[in-house]
Amino acid sequence: MRRTRNSRTSPAAGSALYRALTGWTFALPFTVLFLLFTAGPVAVSLVMSVTDIRSADLLDPLGVEVVGFDNYVRLFTDPKFVRACVNTAVFVGVGVPLTMALALAFALGLNSGLVRFRTAFRVGYYLPVVTSIVAISVVWRFLLQPESGLVNELLSAVGIQGPNWLNDEAFALPTLIVMAAWRNLGFAMVIFLAGLQAIPRELYEAATIDGARRWAQLRHLTVPMLAPTMLFVAVITTIAYVQYFEEPFVMTQGGPLDSTLSMAHHTYNQFGFGNYGYASAMGYVLFVVVVGLSIAWFRLLRNNVDR
Amino acid sequence: MTRPTRLLAAVLAVTLLASACGRDDDGGGAAEEGAQLDQGKASGEITVWAMGTEGEKLSVLAEDFMKENPDARVTVTPVPWDGAHNKISTAIAGQETPDVSMLGTTWIGEFANTGALDVVPSDLVSEQDFFPGAWETGVVDGTSYSVPWYVETRLLFVNRAAAEKAGITEAPATWEDLHAAVTALRTKGGAKWGIYLQPGQTGAWQTVMPFVWQNGGDIHDGTRFVLDAAPNVEALAYYESFYADGLSTRDRLREGEPEPKLLSGEIASFVSGPWHIGLLNELGGEGKFELWPMPAGPGEYTSFIGGSNLSVFKEADNRDGAWKFVSYLMRPDVQVRWYQTVSDLPAVQAAWDDPVLADDPLLATFGDQLDTAKAPPPIPTWEQIAAGVDTELEKIAKGATSPEAAATAMQEQASAIGTGN
């Protein structure tokens, strides 16, 4: 087969074309789907964000006024949006380090000491990742019930009167952060475990011979060697948390008093109200934030990775 | 292309596309009347979308309809409530609408505004047959785009034992009476909370708007929003008093929580619709609760009216058959059969004379209330305005704002959003 084909065309030009063709043929299904369902809508929503398109314009989408950056200007005078930004920043600022620290701690634990029930623990920590958020929210609401919930029962056993977690402005967001950390740490932990197992044993042996204690080993050997893994986990977790939506959507609907309203949730609501132009602008702000944070993470951790 | 050229091209493309845009100023026209229908039986394919239980059970009525109209074929597609609004929006945008769809009463203004809804034919149904509050949910700028199918209104569900202990023999008739009764339910009736009023968040306006109307207030007077008018502020202060006096919890109860609490007597009363009769009976509450109509304020005696409407789309392939199916569903005997199938309260007043409904004392309370119940104006942006109202109500309930400040905020937000026309 190959022989015949080669004999028909000139070897150099033919094989280059052939390769390009093969490459594009393989890439075609993805490219088409990407252009149609990802790049297309992204471009359309960018155009929508500079118009005043509303649900009433559905039948005549071109019959709208171009308002330039009005939507973007309006965003930052919208107290709800500002509140949503602050909530999201807190969620990311506290949630990402918390999730990563917990995941790393559990990964280190599973990687060293625990041998007997290792699989059971791995399954235990990973289970929340694969469980439906709806089921989780039902269980957590039971746990967090102010009078009869398990959490407050335990607290009252040691003499503390627990708050009404989800209905108290001060506690709702922290509660959701803890819940998100618990729900997502399994994924990060599995990645960390893989990273830990990729660190050569010999390095630890050498370090031990050099007299490094466990803490020094962790600080100067494990953490630097894990930097690429950390970058990956940090980026993935940050992207997920900036867009946090499911937890407040099913647990609090953004309340009480908007204390758990997130940017993604607010955008969702605005789409629901039919303010497509305004909601698209919000979506774009969110998009820029995600891209910006990802770049920041790369900058921050790249130096370590390259070294 | 180099980077600057590419950027320039992109900007140019967007500008070109943008210059093709522009809103036609057709303004608000005069009231329209729908074209008349053909005589005779319905025929052809009729596609219908319906939500929730209605979507699952509507085929029962469709079967009957097809027996009467052998040439017609009705296809019912059940649509989940959650995605229904989006699905219909998408269908309108893609011009792939069904012939008939069930619509939430507060959606009519929005969808009518897109120009996708057909005007109700003048010979189809008579306005007088329906509860007035229900009929008005389908009327936008004097034109009728939708026919009420079933209705619901809000009453007070009261724990009977607590009411007896508190020595309350008849339903409170005025605001003062209600406040006193709820206080008695707590102090003498042994309830932790005398009443549960939803403390803000999605849908709380449905509990509070009746107070506003009872006090002679309103949402929109036809030319502008009047959410900060004195009667509204007083109604909000009345709402606030239940929290300030410790009569209602400030924490929102989740789905499934109020029913057992009412039956156990922890909460002596709450405001809800007819579906709670079934929910309470399922929990073994039969005979353990009673219904009170909403009190009359200084203004009129009224409550909130909800339910669902039926609309035909302009793009309907079978307009004639679609409206005939709708008018079939509005026949009093069919409305009664529908009540027996899914417990939806008939929107057609004549259906209430049927012994099935007339002989049920609990339902009679709902029937009386429906005569005067009101709905919010059918403005396209209502859902968004209502969300703002709900947020302010939450602040009132939590004691984070005053009724005056909340009313001002509601008015400002509503005015900024506008009516979308």
Average pLDDT of the segment spanning A56-67: 75
**pLDDT the model gives residue B222:** 81
pLDDT tens profile B337-380: 998 888 888 999 889 888 888 888 888 888 888 888 888 888 88
**pLDDT the model gives residue B313:** 93
| 8 Å CB contact of A272 and B85 | yes
- Assigned domain for B352 exists: yes
pLDDT band at A168 (very low <50, low <70, confident <90, very high): confident
Q: Tell whether the model's pLDDT for residue B241 goes beyond 90.
A: yes
**pLDDT the model gives residue A2:** 47
Residue B382 sits in a domain whose CATH number is 3.40.190.10
- Interhelix angle for B205-214 vs B382-397, to 10°? 90
**pLDDT the model gives residue B232:** 92
Chain length of chain A: 307
**pLDDT the model gives residue B27:** 45
Residue that has been written with the tokens 């009463």 in this structure: B105
Q: Tell whether the model's pLDDT for residue B421 goes beyond 80.
A: no
Pair (B219, B260) in one structural domain: yes
- Assigned domain for B10 exists: no
pLDDT tens profile B113-153: 888 899 998 888 888 889 988 898 888 888 899 999 999 88
Instruction: Report the Cα B293 to chain-centroid distance in Å.
Output: 18
Pair (B125, B190) in one structural domain: no
| 8 Å CB contact of B20 and A272 | no
Could you give the 3-state DSSP secondary structure of residue B216? coil
Nearest to B89 among A55, A256, A275 (CB): A55
Pair (B356, B329) in one structural domain: yes
CA distance B228 to chain A (A): 20
**pLDDT the model gives residue B182:** 92
Q: Tell whether the model's pLDDT for residue B190 goes beyond 60.
A: yes
**Are residues A200 and A145 in contact, defined by beta-carbon separation less than 8 angstroms?**
no
Q: Is B22 left (phi over 0), alpha (psi -120 to 50) or beta?
A: left
Q: Tell whether the model's pLDDT for residue B248 goes beyond 90.
A: yes
Pair (B403, B277) in one structural domain: yes
Q: Kind of pairing, strands B147-153 and B100-104? A: unpaired
- Assigned domain for B1 exists: no
Average pLDDT of the segment spanning A130-141: 85
Mean pLDDT over the full length of chain A: 83
Pair (B277, B310) in one structural domain: no
- Assigned domain for B11 exists: no
Average pLDDT of the segment spanning A99-109: 89
A82-96, A284-298, B35-49, B234-248: range with lowest mean pLDDT: B35-49
- Assigned domain for B9 exists: no
**pLDDT the model gives residue B6:** 55
Q: Tell whether the model's pLDDT for residue A1 goes beyond 50.
A: no
Contacts of residue A182, Cβ cutoff 8 Å, sequence gap at least 6: A128
| 8 Å CB contact of B380 and A56 | yes
d(CA A163, CA A144) in angstroms, rounded, equals: 9
Helices within chain A (DSSP H only): 2-8, 11-34, 40-49, 70-75, 79-111, 118-130, 133-143, 150-157, 169-197, 201-209, 214-217, 223-225, 227-242, 246-251, 263-272, 276-306
pLDDT band at A307 (very low <50, low <70, confident <90, very high): very low
Interface probe for A, chosen from B6, B11, B23 (most Cβ of A below 10 Å), is B23
- Assigned domain for B36 exists: no
Average pLDDT of the segment spanning B194-206: 89
In single-letter form, the type of residue at position B181 comes to A
Average pLDDT of the segment spanning B242-262: 88
Mean pLDDT over the full length of chain B: 85
Pair (B119, B86) in one structural domain: yes
Q: Tell whether the model's pLDDT for residue B1 goes beyond 50.
A: no
Which of the listed ranges B34-38, B374-378, B397-401 does the model predict with the highest average pLDDT?
B397-401
d(CA B5, CA A294) in angstroms, rounded, equals: 27
Strand segments, DSSP code E, in B233-358 are: 269-272, 289-292, 305-312, 345-346
Pair (B206, B220) in one structural domain: yes
Residue that has been written with the tokens 């407040």 in this structure: A248
Pair (B363, B386) in one structural domain: no
- Considering only residues A49 and B301, tell me which one the structure prediction assigns the higher pLDDT: A49
- Assigned domain for B25 exists: no
The token pair that represents A152 in the structure block: 């407050």
Which chain B residues have a beta carbon less than 8 Å from that of A253? 201-202
Q: Chain B within 8 Å of A256 (Cβ-Cβ)? A: yes
Average pLDDT of the segment spanning A292-296: 88
pLDDT tens profile B254-290: 778 889 999 998 999 999 888 888 888 888 888 899 9
| 8 Å CB contact of A62 and B21 | yes
Average pLDDT of the segment spanning B66-79: 90
pLDDT tens profile B79-114: 988 788 888 988 988 888 999 999 988 888 888 888
**pLDDT the model gives residue A273:** 83
DSSP structure string for B352-391: GGSHHHHT-HHHHHHHHHHTT-B-----TTHHHHHHHHHH
The token pair that represents B51 in the structure block: 């939500």
Alpha-carbon dihedral sign for residues B64, B65, B69, B75 = negative
Pair (B244, B342) in one structural domain: no
Buried b (16+ CB within 10 A) or exposed e, A241-274: bbbbbbbbbbbbbbbbbbbbbbbbbbbbbbbbbb
**Are residues A243 and A286 in contact, defined by beta-carbon separation less than 8 angstroms?**
yes
Nearest to B251 among A50, A65, A167 (CB): A167
**pLDDT the model gives residue B396:** 92
| 8 Å CB contact of B251 and A164 | yes
- Assigned domain for B128 exists: yes
Q: Chain B within 8 Å of A57 (Cβ-Cβ)? A: yes
> What is the residue range of B250's domain?
155-304+378-417
- Does the reported pTM lie above 0.90? no
Q: Chain A within 8 Å of B14 (Cβ-Cβ)? A: yes
| 8 Å CB contact of A47 and B387 | no
- Considering only residues A203 and B8, tell me which one the structure prediction assigns the higher pLDDT: A203
Chain length of chain B: 421
A247-261, B57-71, B170-184, B235-249: range with lowest mean pLDDT: A247-261
The percentage of chain B sitting over the pLDDT mark of 90, rounded to a whole number, equals 32
Pair (B364, B296) in one structural domain: no
Nearest to A65 among B17, B21, B200 (CB): B21
The percentage of chain B sitting over the pLDDT mark of 70, rounded to a whole number, equals 92
Alpha-carbon dihedral sign for residues A137, A139, A140, A145 = positive
Number of domains in chain B: 2
**pLDDT the model gives residue B9:** 54
Q: Chain B within 8 Å of A262 (Cβ-Cβ)? A: no
Nearest to B114 among A59, A146, A256 (CB): A59
Contacts of residue A161, Cβ cutoff 8 Å, sequence gap at least 6: A152, A155
Pair (B147, B223) in one structural domain: no
Question: Where are the domains positioned within chain A?
Answer: 1-28, 76-130+169-306
A109-118, A148-157, B236-245, B400-409: range with lowest mean pLDDT: A109-118
Domain A76-130+169-306: give its CATH architecture.
Orthogonal Bundle (1.10)
Q: Chain B within 8 Å of A58 (Cβ-Cβ)? A: yes
Pair (B315, B289) in one structural domain: no
Neighbouring C-beta atoms of residue B165, cutoff 10 Å: 17
Strand segments, DSSP code E, in B160-267 are: none
pLDDT tens profile A4-23: 444 455 556 678 899 999 99
**pLDDT the model gives residue B180:** 92
d(CA A252, CA B255) in angstroms, rounded, equals: 12
Which chain A residues have a beta carbon less than 8 Å from that of B394? 255-257
pLDDT band at B244 (very low <50, low <70, confident <90, very high): very high
A92-106, B256-270, B295-309: range with lowest mean pLDDT: B295-309
Q: Tell whether the model's pLDDT for residue A98 goes beyond 90.
A: yes
**Are residues A214 and A101 in contact, defined by beta-carbon separation less than 8 angstroms?**
no
**Are residues B42 and B71 in contact, defined by beta-carbon separation less than 8 angstroms?**
yes
| 8 Å CB contact of A275 and B114 | no
**pLDDT the model gives residue B29:** 53
Instruction: Report the Cα A219 to chain-centroid distance in Å.
Output: 26
**pLDDT the model gives residue B24:** 53
**pLDDT the model gives residue A113:** 65
Which of the listed ranges A193-197, B242-246, B416-420 does the model predict with the highest average pLDDT?
B242-246
Interface probe for A, chosen from B17, B19, B21 (most Cβ of A below 10 Å), is B21
Buried b (16+ CB within 10 A) or exposed e, B313-331: bbbbebbbbbbbbbbbbbe
